[in-house]
Structure 1
Amino acid sequence: MTTGQAVPVPASVSPHAQQWLSIPKAESTYPAQDDTAGWLAMIEQADSAIATQFTSQPLPVSTEDETIAGVPVFVVTGPGVADDDRRIHINFHGGGLIMGGGAVCRAMTGISALSAGLRTWGVDYRMPPLHPFPAALDDAMAVYRAALEIREPHEIVVAGGSAGGNIAAALLLRAKDEGLPMPAALVLNTPELDLTESGDSFVTNAAYDNLLSSLREVNELYAAGQALDEPYLSPLFGDVTGFPPTFLKTGTRDLFLSNTVRMHRKLRNAGVEAELHVGEAMPHGGFGGAPEDQELDAELQRFLTRHTAQH
Structure 2
Amino acid sequence: PICFAFALAASSITAHAQTAASYDELAKSEAAANADSGKRVAPLKSIGNPTADVSPEMQAMIGTAYPPHFNADPKTSAEWKELIDRRAKQAIANIPAMKAKLGVKVEEKTIAGVHCYVVTPNKIALENRRRLLIHVHGGGYVFGPGEAALPEAIMMAGFGGYKVISVDYRMPPDFPYPAAMDDAMAVWKEVLKSHERHRLAIFGTSTGGAMTLAMVLRAKDEKLPLPAAIAPGTPWSDIDKIGDSYAGNEWVDNVLVTWDGWLGRAARL
Matching residue of 1:78: 121
Matching residue of 1:18: 59
Matching residue of 2:144: 100
Trace 1:1-311 onto structure 2 (pairs within 5 A). Answer: 6-12=46-52, 13-26=54-67, 27-32=70-75, 35-57=76-98, 58=100, 59-82=102-125, 85-213=129-257, 214=259, 215-221=263-269
Rounded to whole Å, the distance in 1 between the matches of 2:227 and 2:268 is: 30
Scaled by the length of structure 2, the TM-score of the pair is: 0.75
Q: CA, structure 1 residues 187+79, in 2 after alignment: closer, same or farther (shift >3 Å)? A: same
Rounded to whole Å, the distance in 2 between the matches of 1:192 and 1:176 is: 21
Unaligned ranges ≥5, structure 1: 222-311
How far did residue 124 of structure 1 move? 0.5
User: Runs of at least 4 residues of structure 1 off by over 6 A?
Assistant: none
For CA contacts below 8 A with separation 6 or more, give which structure has more relative contact order: 2
Scaled by the length of structure 1, the TM-score of the pair is: 0.65
Rounded to whole Å, the distance in 1 between the matches of 2:90 and 2:246 is: 25
Q: CA, structure 1 residues 54+62, in 2 after alignment: closer, same or farther (shift >3 Å)? A: closer
Task: Give the conservation status (yes or no) of the 8 Å contact 1:91–1:123.
Answer: yes
Rounded to whole Å, the distance in 2 between the matches of 1:55 and 1:202 is: 35
Q: CA, structure 1 residues 10+54, in 2 after alignment: closer, same or farther (shift >3 Å)? A: farther
Comparing 45-54 with 87-96, greater Cα deviation is found at 45-54
Task: Give the conservation status (yes or no) of the 8 Å contact 1:54–1:108.
Answer: no
Rounded to whole Å, the distance in 1 between the matches of 2:137 and 2:176 is: 16
Unaligned ranges ≥5, structure 2: 1-44
Q: Aligned to 1:44, what secondary structure does the other structure show?
A: helix
Q: Aligned to 2:148, what secondary structure does the other structure show?
A: helix
Structure with the greater alpha carbon radius of gyration: 2
Q: Give the letter aligned to residue 43 of structure 1.
A: I
Q: CA, structure 1 residues 165+7, in 2 after alignment: closer, same or farther (shift >3 Å)? A: same
Q: Aligned to 2:193, what secondary structure does the other structure show?
A: helix
Q: Give the letter aligned to residue 73 of structure 2.
A: Y
Task: Give the conservation status (yes or no) of the 8 Å contact 2:203–2:230.
Answer: yes
Cα-to-partner distance string for 1:269-294 (whole Å, 9 max, x where unaligned): xxxxxxxxxxxxxxxxxxxxxxxxxx
Cα-to-partner distance string for 1:224-270 (whole Å, 9 max, x where unaligned): xxxxxxxxxxxxxxxxxxxxxxxxxxxxxxxxxxxxxxxxxxxxxxx
Q: CA, structure 1 residues 197+118, in 2 after alignment: closer, same or farther (shift >3 Å)? A: farther
Q: Aligned to 2:213, what secondary structure does the other structure show?
A: helix
How far did residue 181 of structure 1 move? 1.4
Task: Give the conservation status (yes or no) of the 8 Å contact 1:91–1:112.
Answer: no
When the two chains are superposed, the root-mean-square deviation of aligned CA atoms in Å is 1.9
Q: Sequence identity, in percent?
A: 37
Count of matched residue positions in the alignment of Structure 1 and Structure 2: 215
How far did residue 30 of structure 1 move? 1.8
Rounded to whole Å, the distance in 2 between the matches of 1:187 and 1:69 is: 23
